[in-house]
Structure formats: structure tokens, C-alpha cells
Amino acid sequence: MLMKKIEDICNRQVEREGYSSNLYLSMASWAENNGLSGVAGWIYSQSDEERIHMLKFIKYINERGGKAVMPALKKPAADFKSVEDVFKEVLKHEEFITASINEIVALTLEEKDFNTHNFLQWFVMEQVEEETSVRIVLDKLRLVGKNNMYEFDRDILSLRKPASTAGAIT
Ligand code: FEO
């Protein structure tokens, strides 16, 4: 049975993963409206992964005898200054999510909830991958140059990590 404080912090993460998915949908939609189909594709895929992360938490909470609660999600920004700003914001957001996961990990150790601790290890590794993949995108953006968005947009999908690492919902 899940301890109440672990259930609550996992539900907090349901909201954060759900917001991540919504935020990235908004960014992808902005890119699509600006003729950047490659950038939009990269971010739409990221949004799908965030939904899977949210589902993993929902299922885990319920399977452990808790109650997953669907949150109201804050409205994300609809406009962005540039592609570089979008990816800088993605990186900042992923760093926030990493800190959030680490906070749950720390609580599970404090409360000796080793089952949840074990469940979280997938997320710990996933955050390393996600931060790395965004940093690679930002590096490529600097290399190609902000004035050559055509090439950057054409090639960005080749930078996506294989879908298999998104993880199945179990
Ligand atoms: Fe689910 Fe990108 O953190």
C-alpha cells in the first residue's frame, strides 16, 4: 500500500508530466504554424512521451492501492520568440522535471519505500536522456546557425532518440 505522502507526491508528478505534454503541444503547434514541420514533429513526439510518463505514474499509483487524480492543467504559452528560445525553454523545463523526480526519489529513501524507489529508476535514466537530447538539438542549432532554419528544420527529426527508449506502459 502506498503511503499517503508518496501517493500525493506521485500525483503531483502526474500533473507535472501532463503539463509537460501540454506545454510541448503548444510549442509544436506554434512551430507548425510557422512552417517548421520538422521542429513541430520533434516536439509533438516529445509531447507523446510526456503523456506516457504521466500514464506510468497514474498506473503505478493505482496499482499500489492509491488513487490517481487527474489534474487541471495550467494554460501554456501560445507564442514563442524563436526556435532557439523554444528549445532553451524545453531544457529549462526538463531540468525542473529532473529536480522533481529527484525530490520523489529522496522522499522514497527517507520513507524506506523501496518499491517506489525502484519504479522511479526508469525516470531517473529517462531524464538524463531527455536533457541530453535537448542539449544536442541546441548544439546543432548553434552549428547550423539561426539564419539557416531551412536545413535545421529539415534535419532535426534525425536527432530524435529511438522511440523504444520512450518505454512501454507497464
Ligand atoms: Fe517526463 Fe520530459 O519529463
Identify the band that residue 168 occupies on the pLDDT scale cut at 50, 70 and 90: low
In contact, 38 and 154? CB cutoff 8 Å: yes
- Tens digits of residue pLDDT in 34-93: 999 999 999 999 999 999 999 999 999 999 999 999 999 999 999 999 999 999 999 999
CA of 154 to the centre of ligand 1 (A): 25
Which of 10, 130, 142 shows the shortest CA–CA distance to 82? 142
In contact, 160 and 133? CB cutoff 8 Å: yes
Give nearest CA residue, ligand 1 atom 2: 94
CA of 145 to the centre of ligand 1 (A): 27
This prediction has a pTM of 0.92
Residue 56 beta carbon below 6 angstroms from any ligand 1 atom: no
Q: Does the pLDDT value for residue 164 go beyond 50?
A: no
Q: Does the pLDDT value for residue 167 go beyond 70?
A: no
Q: Does the pLDDT value for residue 127 go beyond 60?
A: yes
How far is CA 158 from each of CA 34, 103, 133, 153, rounded to the nearest angstrom?
Answer: 20, 33, 11, 10
CA of 105 to the centre of ligand 1 (A): 15
Which of 84, 104, 17 shows the shortest CA–CA distance to 56? 17
**DSSP H helices in 82-161:** 83-110, 114-144, 149-155
Q: What is the pLDDT of residue 3?
A: 98
Give nearest CA residue, ligand 1 atom 1: 50
Q: Per mean pLDDT, which range of 1-5, 126-130, 140-144 is the poorest?
A: 140-144
Residue 133 beta carbon below 6 angstroms from any ligand 1 atom: no
Instruction: Summarize the confidence of residues 13-41 as an average pLDDT.
Output: 97
Task: Say how far apart CA 158 and CA 160 lie, in whole Å.
Answer: 6
Which of 55, 13, 41, 12 shows the shortest CA–CA distance to 160? 41
User: What average pLDDT does the chain have?
Assistant: 93
Domain edges within the chain = 4-159
Q: Per mean pLDDT, which range of 17-26, 68-77, 118-127, 139-148 is the poorest?
A: 139-148
Query: Which atom of ligand 1 is the closest one to the Cα of 54?
Result: 1
Residue range 4-159 in CATH 1.20.1260.10 = yes
